[in-house]
Amino acid sequence: MAGRPLRNANRYVVNGLPAEANEGDAKFSFSCVMRGELRDASRRAQMIGWVSLTGGPREGPQREWDVQHVALSYLMAQKAVEVLGCENKPLQGEPVVKPGKG
């Protein structure tokens, strides 16, 4: 997983991509191949969809919270991918979050 790891995180897979979540954060990483002069650099980079939530009590079991927030980070990143025009179309469809390994 790209970027710094989350502390005390549970691992997931969202639409085939590695994801993780803890009490305050959820994130996943993916590749976005961009057009034009950024193409070569973007092939070597990983983008991170990250949601950090603060304040207010969290309700429900941890896994339920994690799944909801991993899905939210995916949906938010989908909008960024649309704006960037990633040629490889990395984030397609509704997020399906499953338990991961590790």
pTM of the model: 0.85
pLDDT, tens digit, for every residue of 19-42?
Answer: 999 888 999 999 999 999 999 999
The contacts found for 58-64 with CB under 8 angstroms, 24 or more apart, are 58/23, 62/10, 62/23, 63/10, 63/99
Q: Which two tokens stand for residue 54?
A: 């603060």
Tokens of 84: 């960037």
Q: What is the pLDDT of residues 39-88, one digit of tens each?
A: 999 999 999 988 888 765 566 777 888 899 999 999 999 999 999 999 99
